[in-house]
Amino acid sequence: MAEKNNRLMARLKPAAAAGFVGFSYFLLAHLGVVYTVTPEGIAIVWLPNAMLLAVFLVSPKQYWPVFAGAALLAEIVADVPAFPLWAALAFGLINLSSVTLAAFLLRRFVDHQFSFHRFRHGLAFLLIGPLLAACLAGLFGALVYLGLGRADTSYLVLWRTWWFGDALGMLLLTPPLVVIARLGRATWGWPGWPALAETAAVLALILFITNHAFLPAAETTHGHFLTPVLVVPLLLWLAGRYGLIVTSIGVGLVTFQAIRFLRDGLHPFREASPTFVVWQLQEYLAAVAVAAVGLSLLVRELRRQQGQLEENEAALRAQRNVLEERVRARTRDLRRANRELHELNSRLANYATTDELTGVPNRRAFRERASRYLERAATSGSPVTLLMLDLDHFKKINDGHGHAAGDTVLRAIVQPMRDALRPGDVLARTGGEEFVVLLDDTSLSQGVGVAERIRAGIEEREVHHEEQVIRLSASFDVAQWNGAESLNELLDRADQAVYQAKNRGRNRVEHLHAEADEPTS
């Protein structure tokens, strides 16, 4: 049952829309036949085609036959009181053909969703609708008038009058109807009292001017003649300020004022034939409509482009902000990575040059720094003294108390050595229980004094391990650099003296003069 009701509603909607289109077409056609016709029976402005073209531009194509049938029936009903049935049918078919041609071309070659939101749509509408379709309709409509035998003018006059009347109707009614249909409820809004007051004032001024501008000079009650050209800047003002719909209202007001006076035989053209008067009026109205409607479309396009530019700028700013944030995040990541890499390199460098157990420089670091000290001393001539020490009975400590106790002992003797040294002195562990100290700008006797302080500090040191006390001592050699020997030679000479110190009783300091070969105590 629900599905049947849905099918029924789907059929009723096009039927209701067709009824509305037919009724509207009839009202506009009746208005054209009764109000805007010339003595020959040709309408100065024909609005039904403009309404039907707007309907075709905004409705699905499958509804066109239904709307066309309703419009044809309305045309016949409106024309039959004034024309024979065959002429009414011919007029209807001509009008439907021109409207269908214009709608098909605009939607096929311009835009399927045709609107007046773009200026190129308005330009295409002007070329295809008022110029092409209305012109073709006039060619065939004039033949029907000749067939009626009512016209006392030539075919070209009838063709031009039809053409301009149909074109004027399209210029006046089609653009605002399409714009209204495309707007939708969501975009309607209250314009505000200032805008309404301004619009009303301009329209009132247009009404005032047209009430006198279309009168002959002898008929005007004013001391000067108000020309119809004066309404043009007012219409352009509306076009620039309030868009297409308000502009069309202003143009429509001018049009129907002009037609009202023309029907009463009042116009500003002196000693002119009725045909010439109609032509002049149509040309004036066409020029006014094209200028005003065209400007409103152009302003709309410029505003649309400005809005698009603003949206693009906003999007670019947002994208730039995103990119900047990404760059900042990437920079932070790179800085953090650089810091981590620097810390890692520092740790690696520290691992490569530091003894892991005692925290003092290792053999490699010692050799690098000692080599630089010797090079500097060779240039400056300052004395350099080397201390080498070796813990006594370290193997017994490892064997008797374990390697953990040995590690504790090695760590324990570092502090007494540091306490006896200056910040610039080089302390290093060169292997096992062997340590070396390089004293820059230090004589042999000064070096012996440093060695004695270190020896005494180690001797006083007690290491507690698993409730046992381990007593420590070390054997020392102090050797002074002779200014020519290499670092390896200096180390070898000191190493030999250490062994001699151990052989002489341990826990003692031996020293070698730079030129001596034998140690002295």
* Domains of the chain by residue range: 11-184, 196-311, 363-512
Q: How many other CB atoms are there within 10 angstroms of residue 292's CB atom?
A: 26
pLDDT of residue 21: 92
- Indicate the residue type of 322: V
DSSP per-residue codes, 351-392: HHHB-TTT-SB-HHHHHHHHHHHHHHHHHH---EEEEEEEET
pLDDT of residue 219: 54
pLDDT of residue 174: 93
CA separation for the pair 196, 210 (Å, rounded) = 21
Which of the four CATH numbers 3.40.50, 1.10.260, 3.30.70, 1.10.1760 does domain 11-184 have? 1.10.1760
pLDDT of residue 4: 42
What CATH number should be reported for the domain whose range is 363-512?
3.30.70.270
137-188 pLDDT per residue, tens? 999 999 998 898 866 778 988 898 899 989 999 998 999 999 888 875 444 4
Type and span of the H or E element at 470: strand 468-471
pLDDT of the chain, 521 residues: tens digit per residue = 444 434 433 455 778 888 999 999 999 988 887 777 765 556 688 999 999 999 999 999 999 999 999 999 999 998 888 889 999 999 999 999 999 999 999 999 988 888 887 888 989 999 999 999 999 999 999 999 889 886 677 898 889 889 998 999 999 899 999 988 887 544 445 567 888 899 999 999 998 988 888 776 545 555 456 788 889 899 989 888 888 888 888 998 898 888 888 777 776 666 567 777 787 888 888 888 889 888 888 888 888 888 888 999 999 999 999 999 999 989 888 888 888 888 888 777 777 788 888 889 998 889 988 888 888 888 888 899 999 888 888 888 888 888 888 888 888 888 988 888 888 899 999 888 899 999 988 899 998 999 999 999 988 888 888 878 888 898 888 999 988 888 888 888 888 777 777 777 788 888 876 554 444 44
pLDDT of residue 226: 73
Give backbone dihedrals phi and psi of 47, rounded to 5 degrees, phi first: -95, -25
Closest CA relative to residue 170, chosen from 268, 101, 231, 70: 101
CB 174 within 8 A of CB 50: yes
- Copy the structure tokens of residue 107: 């939607």
Closest CA relative to residue 40, chosen from 165, 153, 169, 166: 153
Output the CA–CA distances (angstroms, integers) from residue 174 to 10, 11, 167, 233, 293, in the order listed.
27, 27, 10, 22, 11
Place of tokens 């000692």: 370
Strand order in the sheet with 426-431: 426-431, 434-440, 384-391, 474-480, 509-512
* Helix intervals (H) in 184-273: 193-213, 231-263
pLDDT of residue 5: 38
Is the alpha carbon torsion for 173, 178, 179, 184 positive or negative?
A: positive
281-318 pLDDT per residue, tens? 888 888 888 898 888 888 888 888 888 889 999 999 99
- Copy the structure tokens of residue 10: 């789907």
Angle in degrees, CA 269, 272, 275, rounded to 5:
105
The gap from C-alpha 205 to its chain's centroid, in whole angstroms, comes to 45
- Indicate the residue type of 488: N
Tell me the HSE value of 15 on the side-chain side, using a 13 A CA sphere.
6
